Amino acid sequence: MAELLVISLAIFGYALVSERLAMSPVTAPMVFVAVGLIVGGSGVGVFDLGLDNEAVSVVVEATLVLVLFTDAVRIDLRALRSSWWLPGRLLGIGLPLTLLLGTIVALVLLPDLTIAEAALIAAVLAPTDAALGQAVVSDMRLPVRLRQGLNVESGLNDGIVLPVVAICLAWAGAEADAEGFGEWGAFVASQIGLGVLCGVVAGAGGAWLLRRRSVADRVEGIYRQLATISIAVAGFAAASAVDGNGFIAAFTAGLAFGHLAREQCAGAQDFTADQGELLSVVTFTIFGAALAGPALDELTWAVAGYVVLSLTVIRMAPVLLSLWRSRLLLETRVFAAWFGPRGLASILFALLVFEELEGSGAELIVLVATWTVLVSVYAHGLSAAPWAGRLARRLADDSGTLPEHAPAPELPTRRTIR
């Protein structure tokens, strides 16, 4: 119960000063990670939830399901048809190159990893979390095309990378168990195929029924919101029941629901985002106490090197290459390349690795992911508002001829308490 008390007091205390902190570079993830570090076993020792605790597993799964579903719902794919260019480059060129470069660097710096484990660590650290640098996607002084390009990238890349994580997990597990290696391909196909199928059925079926009953005024407001959450949970549970990947199902359900029932998404999006935000701050606190705290004594030069390269070269070089000949200002391209913070999705993927794999390779993957997220929380959080303001002032002097000022739709961002 001490852990519940700590989290409750931390949330309440942050709420009391949240308006003042909103005017500063201090973000909610920075605060809750710091709380976890202070109260965890490496601090005063009042927070004693281990990674193998069942409550941690429940929080991790629930958070990942809601994050994947709400990220998919909030991205209106139809609205992006006229402005797909920037997120399309980031996701279609930058993301695959990031996965490839991350794998190569892992094999060089961390030679004890197998190819599967090196690919897994690259996949765990590929998703970005715009909420860690919220000013980048919420500062209205920045051109909407730039803000929404990074917002859409952050909203979709965790779901796109998820099958890669599932494949690499199965591959690494098959390497550890030579007898099962020949079956891993069928297992992966089952995980992805059944996950997508269950997600489409849950999302599309739920959207059709909810729209039909809502048009007939048969659904109360609060239950429209609860029904939306139930679609995410139903997709996850159904896929898990038939040996599919429940997280892929949750993301696919969000895409299907958002595409077919866009008019139902506004209020439901706020409600599910609120629940997701609560689980997110709990996850960041657990991260600080159970992952970051113990990792403070385990840093090596090889791990530190990969962390630095992951946040710079491994992310920035592919993004800069994807934006080559884009006519964007050099500072805009560097800005987009730098603001690929690693946050919630990387934490949750790392915890999946902890649950699914055993051995020194899994421990190293979790350690590298922990340090990367820890550094990213503070490096990207502290630099977001100042750099966003600087770039906004520079672009404001332009007459509107730069491609940064091209029109783009305003889409919801992943809400965060600042």
95-143 pLDDT, tens digit per residue, is 999 999 999 999 999 999 999 999 999 999 999 988 787 778 777 888 8
Closest CA to 252 of 198, 191, 180: 198
Buried residues in 257-287 as b, exposed as e (16+ CB within 10 A)? bbbbbbebbeebbebbbeebbebbbbbbbbb
Of 15-24, 197-206, 377-386, the one with minimum mean pLDDT is: 15-24
Domain 2-400 has CATH 1.20.1530.20: yes
Contact present, 239 and 248 (Cβ < 8 Å): yes
Is the pLDDT reported for residue 1 higher than 70?
no
Is the pLDDT reported for residue 416 higher than 50?
no
Instruction: Find all residues with CB under 8 Å of 252, minimum gap 6, and list them.
Output: 72, 159, 195, 196, 198, 199, 200, 203, 235
Which has the higher per-residue pLDDT, 219 or 349? 349
Of 45-49, 161-165, 297-301, 305-309, the one with minimum mean pLDDT is: 45-49
Predicted model pTM: 0.89
Dihedral sign from CA coordinates of 206, 210, 213, 216:
negative
Mean pLDDT of 287-304: 92
Which has the higher per-residue pLDDT, 318 or 141? 318
Kindly report the average pLDDT of the chain as a whole number.
85
Residue 418: its pLDDT value, please?
Answer: 42
Residue 270: its pLDDT value, please?
Answer: 63
Is the pLDDT reported for residue 403 higher than 50?
yes
Most confident of 119-128, 141-150, 407-416: 119-128
Mean pLDDT of 70-93: 82
pLDDT per position as a tens digit, 171-218: 887 765 654 555 666 777 788 889 999 999 999 999 888 888 877 777
Of 15-24, 271-280, 380-389, the one with minimum mean pLDDT is: 271-280
Contact present, 251 and 68 (Cβ < 8 Å): yes
The C-alpha angle 269, 273, 275, rounded to 5 degrees, equals: 125
Whole-angstrom Cα distance, residue 136 to residue 302? 31
Q: How many CB atoms lie within 10 A of CB 33?
A: 28
Which has the higher per-residue pLDDT, 147 or 24? 147
Mean pLDDT of 221-239: 86
Confidence of residue 415 (pLDDT cuts 50, 70, 90): low
Mean pLDDT of 232-243: 92
